[in-house]
Structure 1
Amino acid sequence: MKNFIRSLFLVAFLPNLLFAQSEQIVSSLDGFAEASWGMTFESIREKFISMATNPESKEQIEIINEKKDEKLLIKRNGIFYLYRFYKTPDIVRELRPREDKRETDPSIVGQTEYRESGILFSVGVTFNLVPSEKIREKLEGKYGKPRKESIGDDKVSGAAIWELVDRRDNPPRGGFAVQWREGYKKAPYTRRIDYFSANIRDMIAKDYKDFFSVQETKTLRDLIP
């Protein structure tokens, strides 16, 4: 019960952290809180170190776990934030033509070709169980109605997806927010929300597709030098 009450307190008084709340409905999700999609692992890590060591800060911030260029787990005022990073696999990078190895900054121009360092593409927020309707109310106040919804066989679990992408840009700018629901005492509750970059997600999908063709290319190259 104590954790449950604490969760309601967090939802009510920390909307900036859970939902990056503003007074207007957002049409494009360009990052999460202070972090923009495409920021490097090092830049975000340094930002949190600076915030955690700032004597004037009233926030409680701690780096719980990290793996360079892959993930950064932050505990901020009792809520866990998993920052996920991505970089092009070496095997894909090595087989691509030289002209495809340029490094644009996706946090500025909204494009990503190839990065040696891990870049932010997703943030997962985890907290104590809160009734799903309370979370949904906050999300709809920020993003409007969800684009898609799914419900599990138990009629309780499932997910709601907000597509917050500006398709006037090329490539499209923005991202997705996913609210997960799970059953607790036969009622829907939420303990996790995930945010994803649309542009970098597409880049990862392309790399994944290229990975298999690269394996074949590499084999042929090794067989026929």
Structure 2
Amino acid sequence: MKKSHNFLFLIVLLPGLLWAQGTDQTVASIDGFAEASWGMTFESIREKFLSMATNPESKEQIEIINEKKDEKLLIKRNGIFYLYRFYKTPELLREVRPKDNRRESDPSIDGQTEYREAGILFSVGAIFNLVPSEKIKAKLETKYGKPRKESLGDDKVSGAAIWELVDRRSSPPIGGFAVQWREGYKKNPYTRRIDYFSANIRDIIAKDYKDFFSVQETKTLRDLIP
């Protein structure tokens, strides 16, 4: 697997941290980040930021810092970095799946469908200068309510707080997760990164990677025992 897929493995393999499912969720769901909704394509988000960056009437400072088509888009916006992450079906799966099932629909911003042959937005990470964690947490609680789960490291300072804002009565589920990361600095907790994830596309990624390893095992056995 490519290094660019490491982050996908991380979110699939940490169910206890990122997907502490609960019931009676009463607050609004996380349906994306800022102007971007889960499932939007790489091209549509890139064009949106290009338009904003070149708009002479815009009061914001926006710059595309780095990009890799259908995988990631790093934006600097008013001094804060935002990493937009995209997902598309691994090539191996597109090769082995039946023709009628290769294209599976995902939500897009206008309610149409987009195919995972193009990268679709599943996560956004915000990176900024160190801020006391309690200040960040207070802001997130004002918007999302109390976190669903919190964890602390052995140092009792580092860790994470997770908000689950998902409507699982819908099929596929609507909403997502917010993760505030904590790290120790001078023995106090600070935050410089928050990650947002789509619940629906997380489920898609988990299924795809389960199928991916199944195909890999089948191919290995076929080649090992002709």
Number of the residue aligned with 1:53: 54
Alpha-carbon deviation of 1:104? 2.0
Deviations 1:107-138 (A, max 9, x none): 25989895111000000000000000100000
Given that residues 31 and 197 in structure 1 are in contact (C-alpha distance below 8 angstroms), is that contact kept between their aligned partners in structure 2? yes
Relative distance call for 1:89 and 1:203 in structure 2 (3 A) is same
Please tell me the residue identity of whatever aligns with 2:167: D
Deviations 1:137-169 (A, max 9, x none): 000000000001000111111000000100110
Matches within 5 A, 1:120-139: 120-139=121-140
Relative distance call for 1:98 and 1:107 in structure 2 (3 A) is same
Number of the residue aligned with 1:172: 173
Aligned-partner Cα distance in 2 for 1:65–1:26: 34
> What SS does the corresponding residue of 1:27 show, helix, strand or coil?
coil
Number of the residue aligned with 1:146: 147
Relative distance call for 1:47 and 1:169 in structure 2 (3 A) is same
Matches within 5 A, 1:52-91: 52-91=53-92
Number of the residue aligned with 1:117: 118
Relative distance call for 1:183 and 1:222 in structure 2 (3 A) is closer
Over 6 Å off, 4+ runs: 109-113, 220-225
1:187 and 2:188 equivalent?
A: yes
Identity, in percent, stands at: 87
Alpha-carbon deviation of 1:214? 1.3
Any gaps of 5 or more consecutive residues in structure 1?
1-24
Any gaps of 5 or more consecutive residues in structure 2?
1-25
Aligned-partner Cα distance in 2 for 1:160–1:137: 12
Number of the residue aligned with 1:28: 29
Number of the residue aligned with 1:163: 164
Aligned-partner Cα distance in 2 for 1:109–1:217: 39
Relative distance call for 1:133 and 1:111 in structure 2 (3 A) is farther
Aligned-partner Cα distance in 2 for 1:113–1:61: 26
> What SS does the corresponding residue of 1:137 show, helix, strand or coil?
helix
Q: How many residues align?
A: 201
Alpha-carbon deviation of 1:93? 1.2
Aligned-partner Cα distance in 1 for 2:78–2:66: 16
Alpha-carbon deviation of 1:98? 1.7
Number of the residue aligned with 1:199: 200
Number of the residue aligned with 1:98: 99
Given that residues 148 and 163 in structure 2 are in contact (C-alpha distance below 8 angstroms), is that contact kept between their aligned partners in structure 1? yes
Please tell me the residue identity of whatever aligns with 1:50: S
